[in-house]
């Protein structure tokens, strides 16, 4: 079935433009309520959101649609995406809904669904929701309408869960940490987690106003965190994206620790302690150095398509637990069912504390191949697929690959969450990967 609304990470777009409109959200809530299979006499669904101003509007619309379908609703308020996944499981709810556009600006918003098990919905369920959207909206009898309640202790429950993912004997006492919450959903969660574990915490990006989410802060804009860590002489910094499922870190010298670095550290730690189940799943964007380092340790490595759902699919198929993306979306399946920025950071810090070494020391010997990524924004209405299929672009890629002479690789792909084409070139240290990436990006712009 051809999808009209669901992409690689739920439904996303610009607020006020179809389908990110109040009337669609009302119908979406109703359609989901029709499809969700209840465990008990009537279904129960959790709704959480990030801090963007449009979340209020869409929360109300989804609540109304679900109620019209006879589904009870539990409102969590601002809550990181992985927190909603966790609470969906612990409340024994039938589904969880996240109102968020992740790392995008406040002008965008979107919807993600979690199953009762706290995992992303399968294709079959998403297709059934899309089919229900084509039906006429009807309302159950008045005595069957869903009720809505607000969960007052949602933040506290998730804070305790995050702390429980590392051993009780591990303390962050003595560490000076800068947290960048991207003015997003972690603003009231992450500070409590790290402080209660003993760290001395200073904050940036922790004053959301509904319109500043991800604005020059967060995991997609690490310059602010680097500057704060260096200025304060902190031991390290941690940055989340707007909905808290991505994370990156900065060491004491301001060097960025990305998702590949963190995957390596978590895998090495668990492998050394005999707790790593199977291997590690990365993506087509994962650095060649990560694959080489893991294989040198005897840890199998497999690449999936870009997108957390594809990482999860390969983990499930292999029976493995650890995987993620260089963007910082990391799945620690031994403790969580989805990517979780706070939990992933804690796994790294737990390793750092036990080894009594800095992040930079832990990464000694992990050599990544030089990699350059350039994003080319597409004009409204432009088909990324059509641009990618243009013979002139294919010729340009072939020319660069010929110059790389087998010592590097090129990857062009449309973003699954934004109107972008991502141009990535990776190669041996002597190659000008940045120049190659810029040349290909300019070729894409010329086609536009």
Q: Which of 256, 261, 257 is nearest to 282 (CA)?
A: 261
Catalytic residue among 54, 67, 100, 102: 102
Structure tokens belonging to residue 63: 């609540």
Contacts with 144 (C-beta within 8 Å, 6 or more apart), sequence order: 42, 70
181-210 core/surface letters (b: 16 or more CB in 10 A; e: else): bbbbbbbbbbbbbbeebebebbbbbbebee
DSSP letter string over 321-361? Answer: -EEE-TTS-EEETTT-SS--HHHHHHHHHHHHHHHT--HHH
Reference 197, options 173, 162, 165; nearest CA is 173
Cβ-in-10-Å burial (0-12, 13-18, 19+) of 256 comes to middle
Alpha carbon distance 403, 391 (integer Å): 19
Q: Which residues contact 277 (CB under 8 A, 6 or more apart)?
A: 319, 320, 321, 322, 334
CA–CA separation, 191 vs 159, rounded Å? 10
Q: Which residues have C-beta within 8 Å of that of residue 21, sequence separation ≥ 6?
A: none
Q: How many CA atoms lie within 13 A of 281 on its CB side?
A: 28
115 is in an annotated binding site: no
The H or E element spanning position 257 is strand 256-257
Which residues are bridge partners to 44 per DSSP?
72
* Cis bond upstream, residue 112 (ω within 30): no
Question: CA-to-CA distance for 290 and 177, rounded, in angstroms?
Answer: 26
Residue 245 marked in a binding site: yes
308 is in an annotated binding site: no
Residue 60 annotated among the catalytic residues of the structure: no
Of the chain, the end-to-end C-alpha distance in Å amounts to 30
How far apart, in whole angstroms, are the C-alpha atoms of residue 434 and residue 439?
A: 9
Distance CA 123, CA 125 (A): 6
Pairing of strands 322-324, 280-283: parallel
Q: Read off the DSSP letter of residue 34.
A: H
The answer to whether the CB of 19 falls within 8 A of the CB of 7 is: no
241 is in an annotated binding site: yes
Q: Which residues are annotated as a binding site?
A: 102, 241, 243, 245
The catalytic residues are: 102
Q: Which residues are annotated as a binding site for Mg(2+)?
A: 102, 241, 243, 245
């Amino acid at each position: 079935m051809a999808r009209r609304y669901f992409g690689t990470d739920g439904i996303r777009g610009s607020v006020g433009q179809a389908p990110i409109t109040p009337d669609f959200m009302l119908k979406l809530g109703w359609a989901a309520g029709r499809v969700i299979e209840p465990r008990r006499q009537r279904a129960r669904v959790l709704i959480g959101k990030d801090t963007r101003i449009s979340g209020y509007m869409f929360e109300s619309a989804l609540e109304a649609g679900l109620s019209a379908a006879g589904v009870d609703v539990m409102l969590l308020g601002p809550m990181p995406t992985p927190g909603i996944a966790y609470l969906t499981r612990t409340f024994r709810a039938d589904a969880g809904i996240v109102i968020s556009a992740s790392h995008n600006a406040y002008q965008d918003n979107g919807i993600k669904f979690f199953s009762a098990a706290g995992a992303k919905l399968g294709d079959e369920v998403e297709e059934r929701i899309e089919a229900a959207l084509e039906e006429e909206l009807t309302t159950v009898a008045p005595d069957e309408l869903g009720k809505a309640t607000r969960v007052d202790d949602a933040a506290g429950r998730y804070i305790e869960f995050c702390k429980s993912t590392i051993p009780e004997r591990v303390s962050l006492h003595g560490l000076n940490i800068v947290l960048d919450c991207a003015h997003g959903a972690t603003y009231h969660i992450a500070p409590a987690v790290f402080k209660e574990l003993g760290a001395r915490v200073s904050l940036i990006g922790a004053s959301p106003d509904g319109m500043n989410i991800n604005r020059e802060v967060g995991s997609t804009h690490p310059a602010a965190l680097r500057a704060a860590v260096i200025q304060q002489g902190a031991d390290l910094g941690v940055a989340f994206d707007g909905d808290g499922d991505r994370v990156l870190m900065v060491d004491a010298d301001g060097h960025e620790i990305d998702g590949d670095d963190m995957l390596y550290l978590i895998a090495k730690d668990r492998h050394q302690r005999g707790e790593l189940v199977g291997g590690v799943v990365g993506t087509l964007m994962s650095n060649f150095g990560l694959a080489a380092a893991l294989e040198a340790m005897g840890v199998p490595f497999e690449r999936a398509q870009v997108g957390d759902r594809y990482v999860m699919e390969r983990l499930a198929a292999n029976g493995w637990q650890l995987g993620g993306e260089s963007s910082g979306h990391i799945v620690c399946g031994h403790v969580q069912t989805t990517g979780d920025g706070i939990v992933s950071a804690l796994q790294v810090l737990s390793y750092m504390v036990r080894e009594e070494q800095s992040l930079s020391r832990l990464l000694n010997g992990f050599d990544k191949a030089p990699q350059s990524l350039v994003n080319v924004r597409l004009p409204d209405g432009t088909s990324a697929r059509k641009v990618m299929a243009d013979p002139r672009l294919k010729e340009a890629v072939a020319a660069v690959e010929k110059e790389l002479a087998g010592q590097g690789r090129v990857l062009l792909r449309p973003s699954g969450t934004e109107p972008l084409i991502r141009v990535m070139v990776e190669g041996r240290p002597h190659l000008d990967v940045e120049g190659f990436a810029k040349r290909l990006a300019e070729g894409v712009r010329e086609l536009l």
